[in-house]
């Protein structure tokens, strides 16, 4: 499981940051997209991701910096000769929005779009590798967080036990790992349950839309390894701006993450007022504020930054290829 950020600015892009978009790469080669702000498909051209292996698009909410890039991406997928159906998950107005753009611009796609209302995602969406659930958040329009968890995990063989019992390595081991009984030449019958080590915990992560109440994610974070959440402002700026925009500060998210025992915290969706680097009005302010309240692994996302969720739940920063 790998995360690759396609946009980390809120509201409007900056010279270095696009608006919201995040790809979740899967072990099998497919991927899903969370939000699709304007310019997302241009960012995709700077990655190895293909619109042919895109399995689903999840929209957290229908503010423009999270969805204005969607019609163009859908059109590009059609021009790239995609024929496989594509699932779109989001608030009910998502279907109206996409249908309106298609009708008014004469957009005809060579593939079917399957709309799944966000409230039904846990019961209606069947991705091969992921179980998905959604949590309602607090924002000016209906906004949601998505929890993605592995559907199944590999089981490792107890090779020491097999060797101790003189079971020859090779195809027999593979059959046991696949869950099949094995009969040896001497007549012994081996059951997989006797030679498979306990399964590891499925990897899970939560990607939140805009939200002024991080505590709403307490239930979704149980058993999850990573939280990706907006940190639009520092607390001081948030207090000057007031509650109207309904965003979170770095302090708010970090305080929640510490209380909830979040294993890895990734902040994103930064106001354009914050520039790269340190000093006043910089991302360093957001980082310092978050670290003052959260002692776990903390990452401030950058466009095209990649992170891998290891099988033990550790989050590692990768290169930006």
Distance CA 251, CA 312 (A): 27
Q: Which residues of 68-100 are buried (b: 16+ CB within 10 A; e: fewer)?
A: bbbbbbbbebbeeebeeebbbbbbeebeebbee
The predicted structure's pLDDT at residue 277: 76
Query: Which tens digit of pLDDT belongs to each residue from 183-242?
Result: 998 999 999 899 988 778 899 999 999 999 999 999 999 999 999 999 999 999 999 999
Cβ–Cβ < 8 Å for 73, 45: no
Listed in sequence order, the residues at least 6 apart from 300 whose beta carbon sits closer than 8 Å to its beta carbon are 266, 267, 268, 270, 283, 286, 287
Task: Answer yes or no: 65 catalytic.
Answer: yes
Query: Which tens digit of pLDDT belongs to each residue from 52-70?
Result: 999 999 999 999 999 999 9
Catalytic residue among 35, 65, 210, 212: 65
First to last CA, the chain: 16
The region, left, alpha or beta by phi > 0 then psi within -120 to 50, assigned to residue 54 is: beta
Q: Which of 13, 55, 15, 53 lies closest to 37 in space, CA to CA?
A: 13
The predicted structure's pLDDT at residue 320: 62
More confident residue, 176 or 154: 176
Q: What angle do CA 128, 5, 21 make, to 5 degrees?
A: 75
Find the helix or strand (DSSP H, E) in which 58 lies: strand 54-58
């Amino acid at each position: 499981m790998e995360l690759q950020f396609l946009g980390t600015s809120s509201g409007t892009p900056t010279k270095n940051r696009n608006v919201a978009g995040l790809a979740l790469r899967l072990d099998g080669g497919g991927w899903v997209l969370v939000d699709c702000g304007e310019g997302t498909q241009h960012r995709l051209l700077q990655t190895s991701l293909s619109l042919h292996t895109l399995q689903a698009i999840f929209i957290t909410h229908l503010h423009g910096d999270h969805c204005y890039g969607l019609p163009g991406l859908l059109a590009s997928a059609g021009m790239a000769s995609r024929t496989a159906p594509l699932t779109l998950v989001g608030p009910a107005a998502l279907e109206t929005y996409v249908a309106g753009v298609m009708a008014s611009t004469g957009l005809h796609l060579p593939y079917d779009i399957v709309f799944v209302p966000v409230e039904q995602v846990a019961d209606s969406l069947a991705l091969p590798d992921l179980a998905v659930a959604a949590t309602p958040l607090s924002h000016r329009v209906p906004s949601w967080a998505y929890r993605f968890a592995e559907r199944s995990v590999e089981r490792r063989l107890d090779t020491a036990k097999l060797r101790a019992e003189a079971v020859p390595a090779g195809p027999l081991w593979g059959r046991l790992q696949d869950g099949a009984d094995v009969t040896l030449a001497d007549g012994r019958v081996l059951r997989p349950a006797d030679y498979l080590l306990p399964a590891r915990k499925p990897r899970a992560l939560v990607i939140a839309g805009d939200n002024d109440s991080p505590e709403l994610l307490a239930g979704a974070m149980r058993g999850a390894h990573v939280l990706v959440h907006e940190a639009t402002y520092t607390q001081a700026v948030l207090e000057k701006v007031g509650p109207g925009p309904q965003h979170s500060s770095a302090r708010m998210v970090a305080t929640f993450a510490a209380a909830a025992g979040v294993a890895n915290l990734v902040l994103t969706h930064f106001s354009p007022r914050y520039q790269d680097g340190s000093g006043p009005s910089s991302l360093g302010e957001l980082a310092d504020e978050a670290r003052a309240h959260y002692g776990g692994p903390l990452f401030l996302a950058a466009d095209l930054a990649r992170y891998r969720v290891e099988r033990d739940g550790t989050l590692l920063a990768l290169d930006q290829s």
